[in-house]
Each structure stands twice: as structure tokens, then as C-alpha cells.
Amino acid sequence: RRRLARHLRDEGVDKPQQHKRVHLNLGEAERSGDDVLMLRELELGYSPSRPAIVRAEEALIQRGECIAVMGANGAGKTTLVRSILGELSPLSGQLRLGARVQIGYLPQLQEHLDPAHTVLDSVQQVSPESKPAELRNLLGGFLLFGDDVDKQIRELSGGERSRVSLARLVLAGANFLILDEPTNHLDLTSQEVLEQVLDDFDGTVLLVTHDRYLIQALATGIWRIEAGELSSFDGDWEQFVLWRERQA
């Protein structure tokens, strides 16, 4: 006790104030059709002369759902996302977006950010009509203050780049979010805020992640890609684990 008292007297520091939190609000999404994404007798790949990477007999995402996409590295998750984004045409079958669906995409590798742009330039690119003062206020909610907004993207840490990407997502006004490993580079506090906001989001979410905690917290259904086959499961992570054990 005496050693502790001496330590607190000579080396102790003041108790930190409450940690700053990211203030993320996706707002009210424009209502899409009830069917957001439909897959039927689908084959996805990069060449008709080679075997398909992902096959799906039938799968559906409806408005308001959060579907977690799971699979080992190389299973075909990226192929599926690229196809939904329209970057890759199906080899056969049907992949169709519903009425009034507006996609907002958060990629894993942040390649969409121009390293030469400043933080302010990067968000202004998504919303050219917004005033700089409005964008600065928005970025402040993502813990990017003052001179931070004038830094080039190449000068930012991974966590700061993720927060810029999230700010761009807010400005996109999408009602169907495709998030590829969204918790990468985020600190624990920011992860908790992201989880809460996605839980409150009134649009639809496709979540590509290995984060089992995030899946349990948000997912209403799971798409698993295994041995090239996409199968859908209606339920959360714990229910999926129980079902998988029974199958085994």
C-alpha cells in the first residue's frame, strides 16, 4: 500500500477524460423496393472457358436485412461483390438489383481514396454541392479536426483513412450498403459506434467480414460460400453455428 501511495504521488497521471467517439449518422435512407438483390441459377467467374468461382441456385436479400457473407480467403467473396457492383458480368444466370436501390460501397483496401487528395477534397468529391464548412463539421464528427482535413490521404494512418471512407459513405446517401471488412483499422470505440449506427440503419446491408462478434450483433441471415457454392441461412451467427454442428 505504501509503494502504491508513493507511485501515485510521484508517477501517477490524471485520469483520462471520456474517449472521443466517432459520431456517425447514416440518416434516413430512401426506401427501396422490398426485394433488394436477387440471385437465380447464377454462375460467376472471369472466363467462360474456366470453371465458375461462385454458383448460387437461388438467394434473396430483402429490404431491411443485414446479410453476412462468409467464406475462406479465395472462396469467391470478392467475385460476388464485384458482380453486385457491376464490375463483373455473370457467366450465366441472373443477378438483379431491385427498384430504387442505391449502393454505397466500403472497400477493404481503401484503394478508392486518391493518395494525393486532401481529406476535404476526398469528401467533397462525393458531395460537390456541400459547402466546405459543412464538410468540416461532418469530418469533425469522425475525429478529423482542424489541420487534419488539409492532410493528404497518403499522410493518414489506416484508422484515419477508414474514417474518411465512412464519411464518404454518409454523404453517398445509399440505401444498400456493401461493407468489406468494415472494422479493419478501426479502434474499439469506433467499432462500437459503427455497430450501433448499422443496427439503427433503416436500409439494407451486405456485410463481408470475419468478425464473428459483428456478425452476431447485426446479421439477420448468412450467405456462406464453400467449395464454390453459395448457400443461404436465415438466422444469426449462434444459430448458424448450431445448425452447422448438427449438419456435421
Q: Contact, 36 vs 178, CB < 8 A?
A: no
In 3-state terms, the chain is what percent helix, strand and coil (to 5)?
A: 35, 25, 40
Distance CA 167, CA 145 (A): 13
Q: Nine-digit cell at 168?
A: 464518404
At 101, phi and psi to the nearest 5? -85, 125
Q: How confident is the model at residue 182 (pLDDT cuts 50, 70, 90)?
A: confident
Number of Cβ within 10 Å of residue 189's Cβ equals 14
- pLDDT bracket for residue 27 (50, 70, 90): low
DSSP state of 130: S
What pLDDT, on a 0 to 100 scale, did the predictor assign at position 29? 66
* Beta-ladder partners of 177: 104, 205
**What pLDDT does 25 receive?**
58
More reliable by pLDDT, 233 or 109: 233
Looking at residue 199, its pLDDT comes to 83
More confident residue, 175 or 199: 175
**Quick check: 71 and 77 in contact, CB under 8 A?**
yes
pLDDT digits (tens, 9 = 90+) for 38-81: 999 999 999 888 889 999 999 999 999 999 999 998 899 999 99
pLDDT of residue 18: 58
- The set of cell numbers assigned to 190 is 469506433
**Residue 95 dihedral angles phi and psi, to the nearest 5°:** -130, 115
pLDDT digits (tens, 9 = 90+) for 71-101: 998 899 999 999 999 999 999 999 999 999 9
Strand order of the β-sheet with 103-106 is 92-97, 35-44, 54-62, 229-234, 221-226, 66-70, 204-208, 176-180, 103-106
What amino acid occupies position 173?
G
Predicted local confidence at residue 20, as pLDDT? 60
Contact between residue 110 and residue 161 where contact means Cβ atoms under 8 Å apart: yes
What digits encode the pLDDT tens for the residues 120-133?
A: 999 999 889 889 99
CA distance 67 to 56: 15
Cβ atoms of residues 176 and 204 within 8 Å:
yes
Check residue 63 and give its pLDDT: 94
At 196 the pLDDT is 77
What is the phi/psi pair of residue 213, to 5°?
Answer: -65, -45
The pLDDT, as a whole number, for residue 24 is 57
Residue 17 has a pLDDT of 60
Return the C-alpha cell found at 46. 472471369
Q: What is the pLDDT of residue 123?
A: 92
Q: pLDDT-based confidence at 152, cuts 50/70/90?
A: very high
pLDDT confidence band for 11 (50 / 70 / 90): confident
What average pLDDT does the segment 225-247 reach?
A: 90
Compute and round to an integer the Cα radius of gyration of the chain. 21
Which of 33, 201, 238 minimizes the C-alpha distance to 106? 201
